[in-house]
Amino acid sequence: MFKIAVLVSGGGTDLQSIIDAVENKEIECSIEMVIGSKEGIYALERAKNHNIPTYVVSKKEYKDKSSDKVLELIRGKVDLIVLAGYLSILDGKILKEFNNRIINIHPSLIPAFCGPGMYGLNVHKAVIKSGVKYSGCTVHFVNSEVDGGAIILQDVVKVYFEDDAESLQKRILEREHIVLPRAIKLISEDKVKIFNGRTKIVEN
């Protein structure tokens, strides 16, 4: 059985989409644990409601050792780490030990509107201010560069003139809830291959 850990920082709607896909047998995998970046976030309640073990690794407590603590919790226990609305930056040993085994969902079409400071509503505000006609979401591998890893899947959402950051975020979240479980499924089935920094979806 393919095993994953999900890292979260907020309400956990992306996490819920993964839980639903697993329980509906759309993905043959097990969610071994959910790790939150702080206490009191609703994502942890979602996990507990489905009897998934939860942990909290906060910057306040672990400071620059946070990534090492996450690694300590998951080492030898999972095949893939999924960042589902996780706002802390992973660094250090975990990136090497889980090279090409950490994925993230980002609420824009990378390489646009990404990088340091580009998270949550900041992304959608920047998108609207720029006047672009399309945005979307991206599932990508995680490396040492923020939002810089190989792109796995993307989905496009039209930006309407009447949109504000909240309305655009809501529509993009709906697409996130489709593409993130799909990316996990493809990886669990060994269908995502990386060639020179680009991914190819292959049918086995």
Q: Identify the active-site residue in 50, 106, 124, 140.
A: 106
Count of alpha carbons within 13 Å of 162, Cβ hemisphere only? 0
What is the total count of domains within the chain?
1
Which residues are part of a known binding site for (6R)-10-formyltetrahydrofolate? 65, 104
Could you tell me which residues come within 8 angstroms of residue 77 by beta carbon, excluding any fewer than 6 positions away?
3, 5, 32, 33
- pLDDT on residue 204: 67
Q: Quick: pLDDT tens for 49-91.
A: 999 999 999 988 999 999 999 999 999 999 999 999 999 999 9
Domain span including residue 102: 2-201
Q: List, for residues 116-131, the tens digit of each pLDDT value.
A: 999 999 999 999 999 9
The answer to whether the beta carbons of residues 187 and 149 sit under 8 Å apart is no
The pLDDT, as a whole number, for residue 153 is: 98
Confirm whether 124 is a catalytic residue. Answer: no
Low-confidence spans in the chain with pLDDT less than 70: 204
CATH assignment of the domain containing 146: 3.40.50.170
pLDDT of residue 203: 81
Separation in Å, CA 106 to CA 28, 72, 118, 136, 170: 24, 25, 9, 9, 14
Cα 11–Cα 13–Cα 14 angle in degrees, nearest 5: 120
Give the pLDDT of residue 196: 93
